[in-house]
Amino acid sequence: MKPIHIKRAALMAAMGAVVGLAGCARGKDEQAAYDMCLQAAKKDPNYAQATFAAREQSNIQGSAGDSGIRVNIPYEMAGKKGLYQCIAEKQADGTYKVTF
pLDDT of 19 > 70? The answer is no
| Spatial contact of 33 and 40, defined as CB atoms under 8 Å apart | no
Q: What is the pLDDT of residues 66-89, one digit of tens each?
A: 679 999 999 999 999 999 999 999
pLDDT score recorded for residue 69 = 94
The per-residue DSSP string of 35-64 comes to HHHHHHHHHSTTTTT-EEPPGGGSEEEEPT
Top pLDDT among 74 and 5 is at: 74
Position 25 pLDDT exceeds 50: no
Domains assigned to the chain: 4-98 (3.10.450)
Tens-digit pLDDT profile for residues 28-79:
999 999 999 999 999 999 998 999 999 999 999 986 666 799 999 999 999 9
SS3 helix, strand, coil % of the chain, rounded to 5? 45, 30, 25
Dihedral-angle region of residue 78 (phi above 0 means left; psi in -120 to 50 means alpha; beta otherwise) = left
